[in-house]
Structure 1
Amino acid sequence: MLDQLAFLPAEELDLGTYKSDFQDHFWKADMSWKLERQVTFKEPSSPSWLAMIEGDWRKSLRLAEEMRAGRVQHQRELDRSGIVQRRIRFVCDPPTPYLQWELHLLAIWAQLGEQIRILPAETIAHLEERAELPEVVVLGDRSPRPVMYDIQYTDGVLSGARKFTDLDLINTCRRVITDHWQRGEDIRHYFPRKIENLPPPAPQRV
Protein backbone atom coordinates (compact mmCIF):
# COMPACT_ATOMS: atom_id res chain seq x y z
CA MET A 1 0.00 0.00 0.00
CA LEU A 2 2.84 2.44 0.74
CA ASP A 3 3.94 2.28 -2.87
CA GLN A 4 0.44 3.44 -3.91
CA LEU A 5 0.35 6.64 -1.82
CA ALA A 6 1.62 8.86 -4.64
CA PHE A 7 -1.41 7.87 -6.74
CA LEU A 8 -4.04 8.46 -4.03
CA PRO A 9 -5.79 11.78 -3.35
CA ALA A 10 -4.39 13.76 -0.43
CA GLU A 11 -4.29 17.26 1.01
CA GLU A 12 -1.25 19.06 -0.39
CA LEU A 13 0.64 21.02 2.28
CA ASP A 14 3.43 23.50 1.60
CA LEU A 15 6.39 23.52 3.99
CA GLY A 16 5.06 26.07 6.45
CA THR A 17 1.62 24.51 6.58
CA TYR A 18 3.09 21.03 6.99
CA LYS A 19 5.30 22.05 9.91
CA SER A 20 2.40 23.76 11.67
CA ASP A 21 -0.01 20.89 11.02
CA PHE A 22 2.56 18.32 12.12
CA GLN A 23 3.22 20.08 15.43
CA ASP A 24 -0.49 20.41 16.11
CA HIS A 25 -1.11 16.69 15.63
CA PHE A 26 2.18 15.39 17.03
CA TRP A 27 1.61 16.59 20.58
CA LYS A 28 -1.89 15.08 20.61
CA ALA A 29 -0.75 11.64 19.46
CA ASP A 30 0.23 8.66 21.58
CA MET A 31 2.79 7.36 19.09
CA SER A 32 4.77 8.41 16.05
CA TRP A 33 5.80 5.90 13.36
CA LYS A 34 8.35 7.04 10.77
CA LEU A 35 9.61 5.22 7.70
CA GLU A 36 12.82 6.59 6.14
CA ARG A 37 13.75 5.17 2.76
CA GLN A 38 15.85 7.64 0.78
CA VAL A 39 19.56 7.55 1.51
CA THR A 40 20.50 11.09 0.46
CA PHE A 41 18.94 14.35 1.60
CA LYS A 42 20.09 17.93 2.04
CA GLU A 43 19.77 19.70 5.40
CA PRO A 44 21.16 23.21 4.81
CA SER A 45 19.75 24.45 8.13
CA SER A 46 21.96 22.00 10.07
CA PRO A 47 25.49 23.25 10.92
CA SER A 48 26.55 19.65 11.46
CA TRP A 49 25.39 18.63 7.96
CA LEU A 50 27.11 21.68 6.44
CA ALA A 51 30.38 20.73 8.15
CA MET A 52 30.03 17.20 6.80
CA ILE A 53 29.58 18.26 3.18
CA GLU A 54 32.51 20.69 3.53
CA GLY A 55 34.73 17.80 4.59
CA ASP A 56 35.19 18.71 8.27
CA TRP A 57 34.04 15.43 9.80
CA ARG A 58 35.45 16.13 13.25
CA LYS A 59 33.52 19.40 13.44
CA SER A 60 30.41 17.73 12.09
CA LEU A 61 30.45 15.11 14.84
CA ARG A 62 31.17 17.73 17.49
CA LEU A 63 28.20 19.77 16.35
CA ALA A 64 26.06 16.64 16.27
CA GLU A 65 26.99 15.91 19.87
CA GLU A 66 26.10 19.47 20.84
CA MET A 67 22.55 18.73 19.65
CA ARG A 68 22.20 16.18 22.45
CA ALA A 69 21.10 18.70 25.09
CA GLY A 70 18.17 19.89 22.99
CA ARG A 71 17.18 16.32 22.25
CA VAL A 72 17.27 15.46 25.96
CA GLN A 73 14.73 18.21 26.59
CA HIS A 74 12.63 17.03 23.66
CA GLN A 75 12.61 13.47 25.04
CA ARG A 76 11.55 14.74 28.46
CA GLU A 77 8.58 16.48 26.85
CA LEU A 78 7.72 13.28 24.96
CA ASP A 79 7.87 11.25 28.16
CA ARG A 80 5.67 13.74 30.00
CA SER A 81 3.15 13.61 27.15
CA GLY A 82 3.26 9.81 26.90
CA ILE A 83 4.41 9.86 23.26
CA VAL A 84 6.50 6.98 21.89
CA GLN A 85 8.60 7.52 18.76
CA ARG A 86 9.48 4.59 16.51
CA ARG A 87 11.44 4.76 13.27
CA ILE A 88 12.47 2.23 10.64
CA ARG A 89 15.51 3.40 8.70
CA PHE A 90 16.43 1.63 5.45
CA VAL A 91 20.13 1.64 4.66
CA CYS A 92 22.56 0.80 1.88
CA ASP A 93 26.01 -0.73 2.24
CA PRO A 94 28.32 1.10 1.93
CA PRO A 95 26.32 4.03 3.26
CA THR A 96 26.04 7.31 1.40
CA PRO A 97 27.78 10.25 3.11
CA TYR A 98 24.39 11.59 4.18
CA LEU A 99 23.39 8.25 5.65
CA GLN A 100 26.67 7.88 7.50
CA TRP A 101 26.14 11.34 9.00
CA GLU A 102 22.48 10.80 9.86
CA LEU A 103 23.13 7.48 11.57
CA HIS A 104 25.49 9.25 13.98
CA LEU A 105 22.58 11.53 14.90
CA LEU A 106 20.09 8.69 15.12
CA ALA A 107 22.44 6.76 17.41
CA ILE A 108 22.22 9.69 19.84
CA TRP A 109 18.43 9.88 19.50
CA ALA A 110 18.22 6.15 20.26
CA GLN A 111 20.38 6.52 23.37
CA LEU A 112 17.87 9.07 24.63
CA GLY A 113 14.71 7.10 23.94
CA GLU A 114 13.64 7.00 20.29
CA GLN A 115 13.07 3.38 19.21
CA ILE A 116 15.00 3.10 15.93
CA ARG A 117 15.57 -0.01 13.87
CA ILE A 118 17.51 -0.66 10.67
CA LEU A 119 16.80 -2.75 7.58
CA PRO A 120 18.83 -3.16 4.37
CA ALA A 121 17.12 -1.54 1.40
CA GLU A 122 17.38 -4.76 -0.60
CA THR A 123 14.81 -6.36 1.72
CA ILE A 124 12.10 -4.25 0.09
CA ALA A 125 13.30 -4.47 -3.53
CA HIS A 126 10.20 -6.51 -4.40
CA LEU A 127 8.04 -3.58 -3.26
CA GLU A 128 9.84 -1.03 -5.40
CA GLU A 129 9.37 -2.22 -8.95
CA ARG A 130 7.95 1.17 -9.97
CA ALA A 131 9.54 3.54 -7.45
CA GLU A 132 11.17 3.69 -4.04
CA LEU A 133 8.88 3.67 -1.04
CA PRO A 134 7.97 7.16 0.17
CA GLU A 135 9.04 8.87 3.37
CA VAL A 136 6.05 8.42 5.67
CA VAL A 137 5.05 9.54 9.16
CA VAL A 138 1.97 8.23 10.97
CA LEU A 139 0.89 10.14 14.08
CA GLY A 140 -1.37 8.17 16.37
CA ASP A 141 -1.64 4.49 17.20
CA ARG A 142 -4.63 4.16 19.53
CA SER A 143 -5.54 7.81 18.95
CA PRO A 144 -9.12 8.32 17.68
CA ARG A 145 -8.00 10.63 14.85
CA PRO A 146 -4.60 9.61 13.50
CA VAL A 147 -3.02 11.38 10.53
CA MET A 148 -0.40 10.32 7.99
CA TYR A 149 2.04 12.37 5.95
CA ASP A 150 3.79 11.43 2.73
CA ILE A 151 6.75 13.78 3.15
CA GLN A 152 7.84 15.67 0.03
CA TYR A 153 11.31 16.84 -0.99
CA THR A 154 12.55 19.11 -3.77
CA ASP A 155 16.13 18.44 -4.85
CA GLY A 156 16.66 16.62 -1.55
CA VAL A 157 15.36 19.45 0.64
CA LEU A 158 12.17 19.14 2.70
CA SER A 159 9.42 21.06 0.87
CA GLY A 160 6.07 19.92 2.31
CA ALA A 161 3.85 16.88 2.60
CA ARG A 162 0.72 15.14 1.36
CA LYS A 163 -1.68 14.58 4.26
CA PHE A 164 -4.00 11.57 4.62
CA THR A 165 -6.82 11.20 7.14
CA ASP A 166 -8.65 8.09 5.86
CA LEU A 167 -8.62 5.73 8.85
CA ASP A 168 -8.59 2.48 6.89
CA LEU A 169 -5.69 3.65 4.74
CA ILE A 170 -3.72 4.86 7.77
CA ASN A 171 -4.29 1.61 9.66
CA THR A 172 -3.12 -0.41 6.66
CA CYS A 173 0.03 1.67 6.20
CA ARG A 174 0.78 1.65 9.92
CA ARG A 175 0.63 -2.15 9.93
CA VAL A 176 3.12 -2.27 7.04
CA ILE A 177 5.50 0.13 8.78
CA THR A 178 5.14 -1.80 12.04
CA ASP A 179 6.02 -5.03 10.25
CA HIS A 180 9.19 -3.50 8.80
CA TRP A 181 10.10 -2.07 12.21
CA GLN A 182 9.63 -5.40 13.97
CA ARG A 183 11.97 -7.09 11.48
CA GLY A 184 14.65 -4.42 11.85
CA GLU A 185 17.88 -4.46 13.86
CA ASP A 186 18.13 -2.09 16.80
CA ILE A 187 20.38 0.81 15.79
CA ARG A 188 22.19 0.46 19.11
CA HIS A 189 23.54 -2.84 17.77
CA TYR A 190 23.83 -1.85 14.11
CA PHE A 191 25.68 1.44 14.60
CA PRO A 192 28.82 0.16 16.41
CA ARG A 193 28.97 -2.85 14.11
CA LYS A 194 28.62 -1.09 10.75
CA ILE A 195 28.98 2.70 11.05
CA GLU A 196 30.89 3.97 14.07
CA ASN A 197 34.40 3.12 12.83
CA LEU A 198 34.03 4.02 9.16
CA PRO A 199 36.48 6.56 7.71
CA PRO A 200 35.14 10.12 7.28
CA PRO A 201 33.02 10.71 4.18
CA ALA A 202 34.55 12.78 1.39
CA PRO A 203 33.46 16.41 0.89
CA GLN A 204 30.24 16.68 -1.08
CA ARG A 205 29.14 18.81 -4.01
CA VAL A 206 25.65 20.25 -3.56
Structure 2
Amino acid sequence: MLEQLSRLPAQSLDLDTYRMDFRDNFWKSDMSWKLERQLTFKEPSTPSWVAMAEGDWEKSLQLAEQMRAGRTEHQRELDRCGIVQRRIRFVSDPPTPYLQWELHLLMIWAQLGEQIRVLPAETIAHLETLTVLPEVVVLGDRSPNPVMYEIQYTDGVLSGARKFTDPGLITTCRHAISHHWQRGEDILRYFPRKIANLPQPTPHGV
Protein backbone atom coordinates (compact mmCIF):
# COMPACT_ATOMS: atom_id res chain seq x y z
CA MET A 1 0.00 0.00 0.00
CA LEU A 2 2.88 2.40 0.66
CA GLU A 3 3.81 2.34 -3.01
CA GLN A 4 0.26 3.46 -3.89
CA LEU A 5 0.02 6.23 -1.32
CA SER A 6 0.85 9.08 -3.69
CA ARG A 7 -2.13 8.17 -5.86
CA LEU A 8 -4.66 8.21 -3.02
CA PRO A 9 -6.67 11.32 -2.02
CA ALA A 10 -5.38 13.26 0.98
CA GLN A 11 -5.49 16.68 2.60
CA SER A 12 -2.69 18.91 1.29
CA LEU A 13 -0.84 20.94 3.90
CA ASP A 14 1.63 23.72 3.23
CA LEU A 15 4.81 23.78 5.29
CA ASP A 16 3.60 25.98 8.14
CA THR A 17 0.29 24.14 8.41
CA TYR A 18 2.05 20.78 8.33
CA ARG A 19 4.44 21.75 11.10
CA MET A 20 1.61 22.97 13.30
CA ASP A 21 -0.59 19.97 12.59
CA PHE A 22 2.27 17.54 13.15
CA ARG A 23 3.22 19.15 16.47
CA ASP A 24 -0.37 19.05 17.72
CA ASN A 25 -0.83 15.39 16.80
CA PHE A 26 2.65 14.21 17.77
CA TRP A 27 2.32 15.13 21.43
CA LYS A 28 -1.04 13.35 21.63
CA SER A 29 0.31 10.08 20.20
CA ASP A 30 1.89 7.08 21.88
CA MET A 31 4.32 6.21 19.08
CA SER A 32 5.67 7.53 15.80
CA TRP A 33 6.74 5.39 12.87
CA LYS A 34 8.91 7.05 10.21
CA LEU A 35 10.00 5.69 6.85
CA GLU A 36 12.88 7.50 5.11
CA ARG A 37 13.57 6.39 1.56
CA GLN A 38 15.17 9.21 -0.45
CA LEU A 39 18.95 9.26 -0.32
CA THR A 40 19.45 13.00 -0.80
CA PHE A 41 17.71 16.01 0.74
CA LYS A 42 18.61 19.62 1.43
CA GLU A 43 18.40 21.15 4.92
CA PRO A 44 19.47 24.78 4.50
CA SER A 45 18.09 25.71 7.94
CA THR A 46 20.44 23.23 9.67
CA PRO A 47 23.94 24.71 10.19
CA SER A 48 25.54 21.26 10.28
CA TRP A 49 24.10 20.41 6.86
CA VAL A 50 25.19 23.78 5.47
CA ALA A 51 28.77 23.14 6.64
CA MET A 52 28.71 19.69 5.01
CA ALA A 53 27.35 21.16 1.75
CA GLU A 54 30.12 23.76 1.81
CA GLY A 55 32.75 21.05 2.19
CA ASP A 56 33.69 21.68 5.85
CA TRP A 57 33.17 18.18 7.23
CA GLU A 58 34.95 18.76 10.54
CA LYS A 59 32.76 21.79 11.28
CA SER A 60 29.68 19.85 10.20
CA LEU A 61 30.40 17.09 12.70
CA GLN A 62 31.13 19.60 15.46
CA LEU A 63 27.81 21.33 14.83
CA ALA A 64 26.04 17.97 14.75
CA GLU A 65 27.45 17.11 18.16
CA GLN A 66 26.26 20.47 19.48
CA MET A 67 22.71 19.37 18.60
CA ARG A 68 22.96 16.58 21.19
CA ALA A 69 21.96 18.79 24.13
CA GLY A 70 18.72 19.93 22.53
CA ARG A 71 17.91 16.42 21.41
CA THR A 72 18.56 15.14 24.95
CA GLU A 73 15.91 17.52 26.28
CA HIS A 74 13.55 16.42 23.51
CA GLN A 75 14.07 12.78 24.42
CA ARG A 76 13.43 13.50 28.10
CA GLU A 77 10.08 15.03 27.18
CA LEU A 78 9.27 12.03 24.97
CA ASP A 79 10.06 9.70 27.85
CA ARG A 80 7.96 11.78 30.21
CA CYS A 81 5.00 11.60 27.81
CA GLY A 82 5.52 7.89 27.06
CA ILE A 83 6.10 8.46 23.32
CA VAL A 84 8.24 5.92 21.44
CA GLN A 85 9.90 6.86 18.15
CA ARG A 86 10.80 4.24 15.56
CA ARG A 87 12.42 4.92 12.19
CA ILE A 88 13.45 2.77 9.24
CA ARG A 89 16.12 4.47 7.15
CA PHE A 90 16.89 3.01 3.71
CA VAL A 91 20.55 3.31 2.80
CA SER A 92 22.94 2.94 -0.13
CA ASP A 93 26.48 1.60 -0.21
CA PRO A 94 28.41 3.80 -0.66
CA PRO A 95 26.17 6.42 0.95
CA THR A 96 25.37 9.71 -0.71
CA PRO A 97 26.96 12.77 0.96
CA TYR A 98 23.60 13.65 2.50
CA LEU A 99 23.07 10.14 3.81
CA GLN A 100 26.55 9.95 5.31
CA TRP A 101 25.89 13.24 7.09
CA GLU A 102 22.40 12.28 8.26
CA LEU A 103 23.56 8.94 9.64
CA HIS A 104 25.91 10.82 11.97
CA LEU A 105 22.89 12.70 13.32
CA LEU A 106 20.77 9.58 13.51
CA MET A 107 23.49 7.82 15.47
CA ILE A 108 23.20 10.56 18.10
CA TRP A 109 19.40 10.28 18.09
CA ALA A 110 19.69 6.51 18.57
CA GLN A 111 22.18 6.85 21.41
CA LEU A 112 19.61 9.03 23.17
CA GLY A 113 16.68 6.68 22.68
CA GLU A 114 15.13 6.78 19.20
CA GLN A 115 14.78 3.23 17.82
CA ILE A 116 16.39 3.47 14.38
CA ARG A 117 17.11 0.65 11.96
CA VAL A 118 18.49 0.63 8.42
CA LEU A 119 17.90 -1.46 5.32
CA PRO A 120 19.62 -1.43 1.91
CA ALA A 121 17.44 0.31 -0.65
CA GLU A 122 17.73 -2.65 -3.01
CA THR A 123 15.69 -4.79 -0.61
CA ILE A 124 12.55 -2.94 -1.71
CA ALA A 125 13.28 -2.85 -5.47
CA HIS A 126 10.29 -5.15 -6.05
CA LEU A 127 8.01 -2.46 -4.59
CA GLU A 128 9.48 0.33 -6.70
CA THR A 129 8.76 -0.69 -10.27
CA LEU A 130 7.00 2.64 -10.93
CA THR A 131 8.44 5.01 -8.32
CA VAL A 132 10.36 4.94 -5.05
CA LEU A 133 8.46 4.62 -1.79
CA PRO A 134 7.30 7.91 -0.26
CA GLU A 135 8.58 9.52 2.90
CA VAL A 136 5.94 8.66 5.53
CA VAL A 137 5.27 9.37 9.20
CA VAL A 138 2.53 7.60 11.16
CA LEU A 139 1.54 9.05 14.53
CA GLY A 140 -0.25 6.62 16.83
CA ASP A 141 0.09 2.91 17.41
CA ARG A 142 -2.69 2.19 19.89
CA SER A 143 -4.04 5.73 19.77
CA PRO A 144 -7.76 5.98 18.89
CA ASN A 145 -7.18 8.72 16.29
CA PRO A 146 -3.96 8.01 14.37
CA VAL A 147 -2.79 10.30 11.58
CA MET A 148 -0.35 9.76 8.74
CA TYR A 149 1.65 12.19 6.62
CA GLU A 150 3.23 11.70 3.23
CA ILE A 151 6.01 14.26 3.50
CA GLN A 152 6.52 16.50 0.47
CA TYR A 153 9.73 18.05 -0.83
CA THR A 154 10.48 20.64 -3.52
CA ASP A 155 13.95 20.39 -5.01
CA GLY A 156 14.95 18.32 -1.99
CA VAL A 157 13.70 20.85 0.59
CA LEU A 158 10.79 20.12 2.94
CA SER A 159 7.73 21.93 1.58
CA GLY A 160 4.65 20.37 3.25
CA ALA A 161 2.76 17.11 3.49
CA ARG A 162 -0.33 15.18 2.52
CA LYS A 163 -2.40 14.13 5.54
CA PHE A 164 -4.37 10.88 5.87
CA THR A 165 -6.85 10.07 8.64
CA ASP A 166 -8.51 6.83 7.44
CA PRO A 167 -7.82 4.31 10.26
CA GLY A 168 -7.80 1.27 7.98
CA LEU A 169 -5.33 2.80 5.54
CA ILE A 170 -3.10 4.02 8.37
CA THR A 171 -3.09 0.57 10.01
CA THR A 172 -2.07 -1.06 6.73
CA CYS A 173 0.75 1.42 6.16
CA ARG A 174 1.90 1.23 9.78
CA HIS A 175 2.14 -2.55 9.49
CA ALA A 176 4.19 -2.17 6.30
CA ILE A 177 6.60 0.27 7.94
CA SER A 178 6.84 -1.99 10.99
CA HIS A 179 7.65 -4.94 8.71
CA HIS A 180 10.57 -3.05 7.17
CA TRP A 181 11.71 -1.86 10.59
CA GLN A 182 11.71 -5.39 12.00
CA ARG A 183 13.90 -6.54 9.09
CA GLY A 184 16.37 -3.70 9.55
CA GLU A 185 19.73 -3.58 11.28
CA ASP A 186 20.02 -1.43 14.40
CA ILE A 187 21.94 1.73 13.51
CA LEU A 188 23.99 1.31 16.68
CA ARG A 189 25.56 -1.74 15.00
CA TYR A 190 25.42 -0.51 11.41
CA PHE A 191 27.08 2.86 11.93
CA PRO A 192 30.40 1.65 13.45
CA ARG A 193 30.65 -1.04 10.78
CA LYS A 194 29.74 0.94 7.64
CA ILE A 195 29.87 4.69 8.28
CA ALA A 196 32.16 5.72 11.15
CA ASN A 197 35.45 5.23 9.29
CA LEU A 198 34.46 6.59 5.87
CA PRO A 199 36.46 9.48 4.43
CA GLN A 200 34.69 12.81 4.44
CA PRO A 201 32.09 13.13 1.68
CA THR A 202 32.62 15.26 -1.42
CA PRO A 203 29.36 17.18 -1.62
CA HIS A 204 29.12 17.61 -5.40
CA GLY A 205 25.56 18.48 -6.35
CA VAL A 206 24.39 18.95 -2.74
TM-score by length of 1: 0.99
How big is each residue's C-alpha offset from its partner over 1:131-185, in whole Å with a ceiling of 9 and x where there is no partner? 0000000000000000000000000000000000000000000000000000000
Q: Secondary structure of 1:134's partner?
A: coil
Letter in 1 for 2:160: G
In structure 1, distance between residues paired with 2:18 and 2:104: 26
Aligned partner of 1:101 in structure 2 is: 101
1:55/1:204 contact within 8 Å kept: no
For residue 202 of structure 1, report the CA deviation from its aligned partner.
Answer: 1.1
In structure 1, distance between residues paired with 2:129 and 2:183: 21
How big is each residue's C-alpha offset from its partner over 1:57-80, in whole Å with a ceiling of 9 and x where there is no partner? 000000000000000000000000
Aligned partner of 1:124 in structure 2 is: 124
How big is each residue's C-alpha offset from its partner over 1:69-127, in whole Å with a ceiling of 9 and x where there is no partner? 00000000000000000000000110000000000000000000000000000000000
Q: Secondary structure of 1:89's partner?
A: strand
Aligned partner of 1:65 in structure 2 is: 65
2:151 is the counterpart of 1:140? no
Q: Secondary structure of 1:159's partner?
A: strand
Aligned partner of 2:192 in structure 1 is: 192
In structure 2, distance between residues paired with 1:152 and 1:97: 21
- Give 5+ residue unaligned stretches, structure 2: none
Q: Which runs of 4+ in 1 moved over 3 A?
A: 203-206
- Give 5+ residue unaligned stretches, structure 1: none
Aligned partner of 1:90 in structure 2 is: 90
In structure 2, distance between residues paired with 1:164 and 1:124: 23
2:170 is the counterpart of 1:170? yes
Letter in 1 for 2:50: L
In structure 2, distance between residues paired with 1:4 and 1:159: 21
Letter in 2 for 1:103: L
Change in Cα spacing, 1:42 to 1:30, as seen in structure 2 (3 Å) is same
In structure 2, distance between residues paired with 1:130 and 1:59: 39
Aligned partner of 1:20 in structure 2 is: 20
Aligned partner of 2:42 in structure 1 is: 42
1:107/1:187 contact within 8 Å kept: yes
1:54/1:204 contact within 8 Å kept: no
In structure 2, distance between residues paired with 1:86 and 1:21: 20
How big is each residue's C-alpha offset from its partner over 1:28-48, in whole Å with a ceiling of 9 and x where there is no partner? 000000000000000000100
Identity level (%): 79
RMSD: 0.6
In structure 2, distance between residues paired with 1:154 and 1:191: 29
TM-score by length of 2: 0.99
Work out the number of aligned pairs and report it.
Answer: 206
